[in-house]
Structure 1
């Protein structure tokens, strides 16, 4: 018995093919129409106020005003949230001398956040009646009156020479924060033998005579030197590349480095061994 083959006539297959092609064409039309519709909606959204920035929020600023940062960013509520590159805004803000780093983000609430990190304040430069706050970048801020000085950074006195001041800035930049906070004033006291000599008043009552050359390295041994001394009897510590020597104050105490009143004699002088 032979298997009977089912024969489909051409008249039966043509309607089915026509229907399959019609469904395929409909699916293709719906696909392209959806893409076109999305593109139209997207273009309309980007061109309409619905896409505009509603708020720009600045955080992290202390020395520089939010208004200056906003002006530098060129952001406004009259532009689309998607009309700018974040990296371009960050680069523009970094051009401000007070700014060390900047991070710009978009939020779906149509808000742009700008978070900045400013250069640290490392000193004040004495300008007579006023003080010029000095950042670690070397940039000075607007003058402040001496009565507004809060002791939050050392005073630099006698640093009129630009080269000397820059070397001093580099030395302060290399100091850890805990050491920087221990310095009250720094006087530039050049001698013929050492034009880079400086005299420091420390907040713990000691005074320090050292040099700008190797300043940070000399200051880093200060804690170990002071730990070997009696804080009830402060004096002058001389630190250079050869070591440290301590001279106790005389009974007539002084915090003026120009007076230099110390006990004389070897009995009042202590050569200190630095901790390894």
Structure 2
């Protein structure tokens, strides 16, 4: 019986040795892999692969790519891991047309600048030039060459002040389908209402309104027009109530 026990133990010894050998091999492989990984990291950080090689811009429509890159302060060849994302975002968001910005690093050496611009809700006319008006009421000074984009209202006689900010805010509140049928908005203040405006619509009607209740009243414009004779044009007064006065015509 004792002999049988001894033989059983002897049978187990090779298996124990094999298990220990496999464990030692796995540990050796892990240490070797870790060593080579550290070597590769050192080589990467010392090589051009860790330097900014490409800067891409996404999400922008009005602001040119190169202008955004210049504003970010990023340069090709800079160490990609020393990049201060918060500082870059702050620089980008200081631009008058940029609402939000994000910075992402793409392996191995690409920096992605994701931009969200303030929405352009109208254009202000200054003679032959047109300047975009952003949703925050800011007039972008760089003029546009060529035609104004389709379905963008043109504002006249406005200055860059509280009146324009309120007008921009009210336009922002309107559904796009109503903004799209506004051709022109003229600032026409009265002694009794410094916020008075006159609108010329794409369907031929004229609207007299006040900025203070503009979005609240204009949402009803399609309903009001549907009750009018499309052949008889005139002024729709939305200052206090809502009533229509046809243009005077000759017999």
1:210 aligns with 209
Structure 1: 4+ residue segments shifted above 6 A = 16-26
- Deviation at 1:156? 1.9
- Deviation at 1:113? 3.4
2:164 aligns with 165
1:71 aligns with 2:70: yes
- Deviation at 1:249? 1.1
- Deviation at 1:179? 1.4
Change (3 A) 1:29 1:211: same
1:263 aligns with none
* Structure 1, unpaired ranges of 5+: 9-15, 253-276
1:244 aligns with 242
| Distance in 1 (alpha carbons) for counterparts of 2:178 and 2:228 | 17
Contact between 1:168 and 1:212, CA under 8 Å: does it hold in 2? yes
Change (3 A) 1:27 1:154: closer
1:135 aligns with 2:165: no
The structure with the largest helix share of the pair is 2
CA deviations 1:188-218 (Å, max 9, x no partner) are 2222222211111111100000111111111
Alignment of 1:21-40 (within 5 A): 28-40=27-39
Contact between 1:98 and 1:137, CA under 8 Å: does it hold in 2? no
Change (3 A) 1:20 1:107: closer
Alignment of 1:1-276 (within 5 A): 3-4=2-3, 28-84=27-83, 89-108=88-107, 110-128=109-127, 130-144=129-143, 148-149=147-148, 152-160=151-159, 162-241=161-240, 243-251=241-249
How big is the alpha-carbon RMSD for the aligned residues of Structure 1 and Structure 2? 3.5
Aligned length: 246
- Deviation at 1:41? 1.3
Contact between 1:151 and 1:184, CA under 8 Å: does it hold in 2? no
The secondary structure found in structure 2 opposite 1:77 is coil
CA deviations 1:145-169 (Å, max 9, x no partner) are 7974456422222223722222112
| Distance in 2 (alpha carbons) for counterparts of 1:20 and 1:250 | 104
| Distance in 2 (alpha carbons) for counterparts of 1:73 and 1:54 | 15
- Deviation at 1:58? 2.0
| Distance in 2 (alpha carbons) for counterparts of 1:143 and 1:86 | 28
CA deviations 1:7-52 (Å, max 9, x no partner) are 69xxxxxxx9999988866654553343233112112202211233
Change (3 A) 1:224 1:82: same
Change (3 A) 1:17 1:228: closer
The secondary structure found in structure 2 opposite 1:50 is helix
Change (3 A) 1:117 1:6: closer
Structure ID, larger Rg: 1
Contact between 2:151 and 2:182, CA under 8 Å: does it hold in 1? no
| Distance in 1 (alpha carbons) for counterparts of 2:249 and 2:224 | 22
Provide TM-score, normalisation by structure 1: 0.73
